[in-house]
C-alpha cells in the first residue's frame, strides 16, 4: 500500500522508486494531492484542468493532464489512477493518504488517532504558480482540515475533563492554544483548566500572553470573558491578590556572573536527507529524537538552574529563534523551525512547557532591529521576562545539511540576573 503524506508538505511512503524526474514536477504532485484529498470520490477532468492548467487551451490542457496521469502511474503502478469517461480517481486498494485516514478517524470518533495523523497544515509550503484556483482550493482544504483538528483537540480536552484527568485536560488545552492562540474560547478553556489544576498564576499569565498577541497582531483587546476571568483569578479566596509579572515592553537587563553549575554535553549531530525542505517533512523521527536528546541534555526535566527572583513562571521556557549564521543557507528554516519543534516537545508533561512561538516572536519583534536579527543574551532575557517566562533557551545551528550540529543554552531568568546551564 502506498501512502501519500499531505500534512506538513507532500511526500510518498511505501514505494521503492524515488519521487524524481517527470513525476516530481509540481503540477503532477498537485494532481496527486487533489485526487488524494477527494478520495474515494472521483474528480472531473474539467475541474482538474481548470485548477492545474488554467492558461492552456482545452486540447493542450487535456493532453497535459493525460501526461501527468501517465507519469504518476509509472511511479505508483498502472492501477493507481483509475480513468473514467470524464473523471479520475485514486484506487483505494492501491493508494491511501494521511488526509483520508485523518477524516476516517474523525468520522468514527477516534480523536486520538486523528490528532496523531495531523502532522501540520495541509500541503504546507507547497505552491503552484499561475494557478489561482488551485491555491484557493488548497487554502479551503487547509482551513477545513485545521478546523477538524482543532475540534478534535477540544473534544479530547473535554473528555479528559469529564474523566477528572486534570493534567491531561491542561495538556490538550495547551495544544489547542498553541494552534489557535488568538481564540478567546481556547484561552478561557486553558485558563479554567489551569485553575482546576491549581496553577492560578499560570492561568493569569495565559490571559496576558493572549492579550499581548491580540494587541500586537490585530490591534485588538481581549474579550470581556477573558478579562473577567483573569480579574477573578487575581483574587484568591479571602480577598488576597495574586501578583503576576505583567506583559509589557521590557528593556535589556544587566547580566550578572552565572552560577558555577554549568553542564557540558557532547554535541548532538543529526542528519536530514538532502531533499527535505522543512522540519519533519520526510523523516521527522530523526529530528524529534535529536531534540529529545537535546532537552534531556539541557536538564530541563530536572529543573536545573537557579530559582527566579520574581513571580516569573520557572516552568515556562521562552525558546528563541536559533542562530543559523554558521550554517548552510539551506538550513535557514531551522531558525524558527526549531522553535516549533521544541514547543511541540515541551508540553508541560512531567516538566516545563514552551511558550507559544508566535508570542515569543511578537515580543522578539519589539526588540530586534529586523526579523532575521539576533539578540544579545541580555536582550533575549528581557523578551523572556516580557512574556512571563522564567527560563530562556538560546540555540544555534552550524554545518551543512548532512551533517549539522545543534547547540543550545538553557538560562534561568531572574528579575535582574541570569543563571545558565549549557549543552551543545
> What per-residue confidence (pLDDT) applies to 176?
92
- Its pTM stands at 0.59
Residue 419's SS3 state is strand
Q: What angle do CA 352, 337, 424 make, to 5 degrees?
A: 65
DSSP β-ladder status, 404-413 and 389-399: antiparallel
Q: For 164-244, which CATH class?
A: mainly alpha
What would you measure as the largest C-alpha separation in the chain, in angstroms? 79
pLDDT tens-place values along the chain, 424 residues long: 889 999 988 888 876 555 544 445 889 999 999 999 999 899 999 999 999 999 999 999 999 999 999 999 988 888 999 999 899 999 999 999 999 999 999 999 999 999 999 988 999 888 888 999 999 999 999 999 999 999 999 999 999 999 999 999 999 998 898 889 999 999 999 999 999 999 888 899 889 889 988 988 889 999 999 999 999 998 865 444 444 444 333 333 333 333 333 333 223 333 333 223 233 333 334 454 455 445 544 544 444 444 444 467 788 889 999 888 777 777 787 888 888 888 877 877 656 788 888 888 888 888 887 766 788 888 898 888 888 888 888 888 877 665 667 777 888 886 443 344 444 4
Which fold is adopted by the domain 2-135? Answer: Arc Repressor Mutant, subunit A (1.10.10)
d(Cα 342, Cα 163) in Å, to the nearest integer?
29
Other CB atoms within a 10 A radius of the CB of residue 200 amount to: 19
> What per-residue confidence (pLDDT) applies to 361?
86
Q: Do domains 164-244 and 268-423 have the same CATH topology?
A: no
Domain boundaries, the chain: 2-135, 164-244, 268-423
268-423 under CATH 3.40.50, yes or no:
yes
> What per-residue confidence (pLDDT) applies to 131?
93
Is the bond into 40 cis (omega within 30 degrees of 0)? yes
User: What DSSP element (H or E) covers 188?
Assistant: helix 184-197
Contact 274, 404 (CB under 8 A): no
The candidate with the shortest Cα–Cα distance to 94, out of 107, 68, 75, 66, is 75
d(Cα 159, Cα 165) in Å, to the nearest integer?
9
Backbone phi, psi, residue 7, to 5°: -85, 135
Q: What angle do CA 16, 18, 24 make, to 5 degrees?
A: 135
Q: What is the pLDDT of residues 146-199, one digit of tens each?
A: 999 999 999 999 999 999 999 999 999 988 988 899 999 999 999 999 999 998
Residue 107's SS3 state is helix
Amino acid at each position: 500500500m502506498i501512502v501519500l503524506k499531505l500534512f506538513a508538505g507532500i511526500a510518498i511512503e511505501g514505494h521503492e522508486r524515488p519521487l524524481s524526474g517527470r513525476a516530481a514536477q509540481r503540477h503532477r504532485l498537485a494532481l496527486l494531492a487533489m485526487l488524494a484529498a477527494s478520495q474515494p470520490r472521483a474528480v472531473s477532468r474539467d475541474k482538474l484542468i481548470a485548477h492545474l492548467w488554467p492558461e492552456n487551451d482545452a486540447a493542450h490542457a487535456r493532453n497535459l493532464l493525460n501526461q501527468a496521469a501517465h507519469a504518476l502511474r509509472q511511479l505508483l503502478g498502472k492501477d493507481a489512477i483509475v480513468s473514467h469517461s470524464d473523471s479520475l480517481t485514486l484506487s483505494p486498494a492501491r493508494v491511501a493518504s494521511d488526509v483520508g485516514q485523518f477524516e476516517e478517524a474523525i468520522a468514527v470518533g477516534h480523536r486520538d488517532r486523528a490528532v496523531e495523523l495531523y502532522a501540520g497544515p495541509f500541503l504546507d509550503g507547497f505552491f503552484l504558480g499561475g494557478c489561482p484556483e488551485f491555491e484557493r482550493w488548497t487554502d479551503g482544504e487547509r482551513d477545513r482540515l485545521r478546523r477538524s483538528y482543532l475540534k478534535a483537540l477540544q473534544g479530547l480536552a473535554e473528555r479528559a475533563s469529564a474523566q477528572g484527568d486534570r493534567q491531561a485536560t491542561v495538556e490538550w488545552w495547551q495544544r489547542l492554544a498553541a494552534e489557535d492562540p488568538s481564540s478567546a474560547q481556547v484561552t478561557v478553556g486553558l485558563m479554567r483548566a489551569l485553575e482546576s489544576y491549581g496553577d492560578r498564576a499560570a492561568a493569569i499569565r495565559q490571559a496576558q500572553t493572549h492579550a499581548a498577541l491580540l494587541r500586537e497582531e490585530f490591534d485588538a483587546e481581549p474579550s470581556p470573558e477573558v478579562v473577567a476571568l483573569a480579574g477573578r483569578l487575581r483574587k484568591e479566596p479571602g480577598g488576597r491578590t495574586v501578583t503576576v509579572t505583567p506583559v509589557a515592553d521590557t528593556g535589556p537587563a544587566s547580566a550578572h556572573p552565572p552560577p558555577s553549575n554549568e553542564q557540558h554535553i557532547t554535541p548532538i549531530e543529526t542528519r536530514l536527507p538532502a531533499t527535505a525542505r522543512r522540519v519533519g517533512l520526510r523523516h521527522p523521527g530523526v529530528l524529534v529524537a535529536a531534540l529529545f536528546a537535546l532537552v534531556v541534555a539541557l536538564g530541563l526535566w530536572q529543573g536545573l538552574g537557579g530559582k527566579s527572583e520574581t513571580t516569573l513562571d520557572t516552568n515556562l521556557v521562552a525558546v528563541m529563534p536559533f542562530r543559523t549564521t554558521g550554517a548552510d543557507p539551506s538550513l535557514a528554516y531551522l531558525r524558527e523551525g526549531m522553535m516549533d519543534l521544541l514547543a511541540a516537545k515541551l508540553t508541560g508533561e512531567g516538566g516545563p512547557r514552551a511558550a507559544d512561538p508566535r508570542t515569543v516572536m511578537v515580543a522578539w519583534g519589539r526588540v530586534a532591529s529586523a526579523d532575521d536579527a539576533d539578540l544579545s543574551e541580555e536582550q533575549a532575557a528581557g523578551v523572556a521576562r516580557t512574556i512571563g517566562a522564567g527560563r530562556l533557551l538560546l540555540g544555534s545551528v552550524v554545518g551543512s545539511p548532512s551533517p549539522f550540529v545543534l547547540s543550545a543554552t538553557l538560562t534561568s531568568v531572574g528579575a535582574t540576573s541570569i543563571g545558565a546551564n549549557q549543552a551543545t
